[in-house]
Amino acid sequence: MEVLASSATASSCPHFIISNMYKNPNSASMATTPQLLQRKYAPVRIVEARAKAPLMYLKITSFKRLLNYGNTDRALLLPICRLNQSFFSQCSLFSVRYSKLKKKLRLKKYAGSLHKVISYSEKIGHHAFVRFVVALMVVMSVSVSVSESPSWALTEENLLFLEAWRMIDRAYVDKSFNGQSWFRYRENALRNEPMNTREETYMAIKKMLATLEDPFTRFLEPEKLKSLRSGTQGALTGVGLSIGYPTKFDGSPAGLLVISASPGGPANKAGILSGDVILAIDDTSTETMGVYDAAERLQGSEGSSVKLTVRSGPEIKHLDLMREKVSLNPVTSRLCAMPASGKDSLRIGYIKLTSFNQNASGAVKEAINTLRTNNVNAFVLDLRDNSGGLFPEGIEIAKIWLDKGVIVYICDSRGVRDIYDTDGSKAVAPSEPLAVLVNKGTASASEILAGALKDNKRAVLFGEPTFGKGKIQSVFELSDGSGLVVTVARYETPAHTDIDKVGVVPDHPLPTSFPKDEEAFCNCLQDPASACNKVELFAR
């Protein structure tokens, strides 16, 4: 079971938080998928309720006697006729005075005694419901809980659609389902949506999810689900790029911002740098392209090629890159010494964290220990343009810096349902001065980490308000290998701040010229007149 918390990297999982990747839908906490209910062959509730009534035990007489009774009132049996026309071929002949029968039977009086009900049924003789029990059992066995619909056998495609519907029904955070009747949607979809092929079924599922108007709840074809998993496991096949949100500079063509290029990967070897803008992928403009779509286009089979149009400063580059299996190292670090003398001079350990994959917490610990061998006495944790990743890795990294305290509250529509905290047992660097750098590209797991460090007064935050992704998603696998990314909860910072669409607000701003990588940061510190030295990162 993989637990995720991601946001906007094309190299792993684009902008959303994921709390769980599940294959086994059997446990009951937030970190488990709700168990799928078995298909329930039941008709409309009113018929089901009548099936449980003492009327079930009436003595059965002949079928013909029922047909010969009464005049024109068929209010009771017509719904059953509609549900199973093949069994009730003579439905048009039924005429039962239901109100009279109800009065005669006095169901409430005889509800507690099977013997009395049977005896009473003998008194009313040919007025009884002939073969009523048999009819109800047939209706219940062939119906699909769709009111007043012809009965049909559920196809494999119908079952896949219902599997997706049930997952949303059980797991989705908004139990109003964006103000619609979720059961009614299922009925209408089974009646009206074409589901003759797997592609049509996938389209029906996507259409269903679109009604929630939640950009983070989405459908994943089998290959996309595999790609998502590989991206959170520290390696994938692609060009080694992490991309951010659509951006525009000075009226120039819009595109997708390059957050980072994996060292040694195809993009890095081609000279693509952080801050470059991807204008087109395989001659398709990225101006209106979402990060999900872009991530899928950048990934592909090993040895295949992809064409990129990239703007690097004023220069436009046309590159043809070959996809490779790229190992994703989420952490880079460097020792930066301030230009001062004496034993009190600052030796800063700069750590840039670009994503939260399975290597993240271990890589952060390793960077801290390496920097400590060089006698650092302060740290800078750079979370700018970190769009998230695995949720547990965000929690583990928070524990590295904190000696105690709440890390995050997990909430649903009823309030707090889970608390992640730490007792300090996993703390590695709980005392050195710490500055955290954030911007609007800091999202999801990065915001959880930044909020925890700020609210516990462990760090001072510099930059601009973060993206504001306060929802948690889980990834569920369907029986055919496809999957659903579903919003299952929201979270609050330790100060009970709901950051959704607001973000984590930093303590101090940063100059726009503040460097974005370790080498530029260290060089900037060496210049007394630079932007770095105008910001008091470690003012005491």
Which pLDDT value is given to residue 458?
97
Task: Supply the DSSP string of 332-361, one letter for each residue.
Answer: EEEEEE-S--STT--EEEEEEE--BSTTHH
pLDDT level of residue 509 (50, 70, 90 thresholds): very high
Beta bridge partners of 474: 20, 486
pLDDT level of residue 152 (50, 70, 90 thresholds): low
Length of the chain: 540
Copy the structure tokens of residue 43.
């008709």
Helical pair 198-210 and 182-192, crossing angle rounded to 10 deg: 150
Q: Which of 51-65, 483-497, 507-521 has the highest mean pLDDT?
A: 483-497
Give the mean pLDDT of the chain: 74
pLDDT in tens, 343-365: 567 789 999 998 888 889 999 99
Which pLDDT value is given to residue 155?
93
Query: Which DSSP symbol is given to 175?
Result: T
Sequence-ordered alpha helix ranges (H) in 389-461 = 391-401, 445-455
CB 434 within 8 A of CB 401: yes
Task: Supply the DSSP string of 21-81, one letter for each residue.
Answer: EES-TT--STTSPPPPPPP-----HHHHHHHTSGGGGSPP--HHHHHTS-SS--TTTHHHH
pLDDT in tens, 247-267: 444 455 578 888 667 777 899
For the chain, domains (ranges, CATH) are 156-213 (3.30.750.44), 238-325 (2.30.42.10), 331-474+485-534 (3.90.226.10)
Q: Which residue has the higher pLDDT, 328 or 273?
A: 273
Looking at the predicted structure, is the pLDDT value of residue 86 above 80?
Answer: no
Beta bridge partners of 110: none
Looking at the predicted structure, is the pLDDT value of residue 68 above 80?
Answer: no
444 is catalytic: yes
Which pLDDT value is given to residue 93?
38
pLDDT level of residue 128 (50, 70, 90 thresholds): very low
Question: Mean pLDDT, to the nearest integer, of 405-429?
Answer: 91
Query: Which DSSP symbol is given to 92?
Result: G
Query: Which DSSP symbol is given to 89?
Result: T
Looking at the predicted structure, is the pLDDT value of residue 500 above 70?
Answer: yes
pLDDT in tens, 18-61: 333 334 333 333 333 333 333 333 333 333 333 333 333 333 33
Copy the structure tokens of residue 417.
């349902």
pLDDT level of residue 134 (50, 70, 90 thresholds): very low
CB 444 within 8 A of CB 15: yes
pLDDT level of residue 235 (50, 70, 90 thresholds): low
pTM of the shown model: 0.63
From 7, 11, 242, 444, active-site residue: 444
Looking at the predicted structure, is the pLDDT value of residue 445 above 70?
Answer: yes
From 352, 399, 469, 471, active-site residue: 469
Which pLDDT value is given to residue 362?
94
Which pLDDT value is given to residue 224?
83
- What is the percent of the chain with per-residue pLDDT over 70, rounded to a whole number? 66
Question: Mean pLDDT, to the nearest integer, of 304-323?
Answer: 93
Q: Measure Cα distances from 205 to 212, 369, 540 in Å.
A: 12, 48, 56
Which pLDDT value is given to residue 252?
52
Looking at the predicted structure, is the pLDDT value of residue 2 above 50?
Answer: no
Which pLDDT value is given to residue 233?
56
Looking at the predicted structure, is the pLDDT value of residue 177 above 60?
Answer: yes
Copy the structure tokens of residue 521.
């940061």
Q: Measure Cα distances from 173 to 112, 176, 415, 441, 488 in Å.
A: 42, 9, 11, 25, 5
Q: Which residue has the higher pLDDT, 233 or 187?
A: 187
Which pLDDT value is given to residue 462?
96
- What is the percent of the chain with per-residue pLDDT over 90, rounded to a whole number? 39
Looking at the predicted structure, is the pLDDT value of residue 140 above 60?
Answer: no
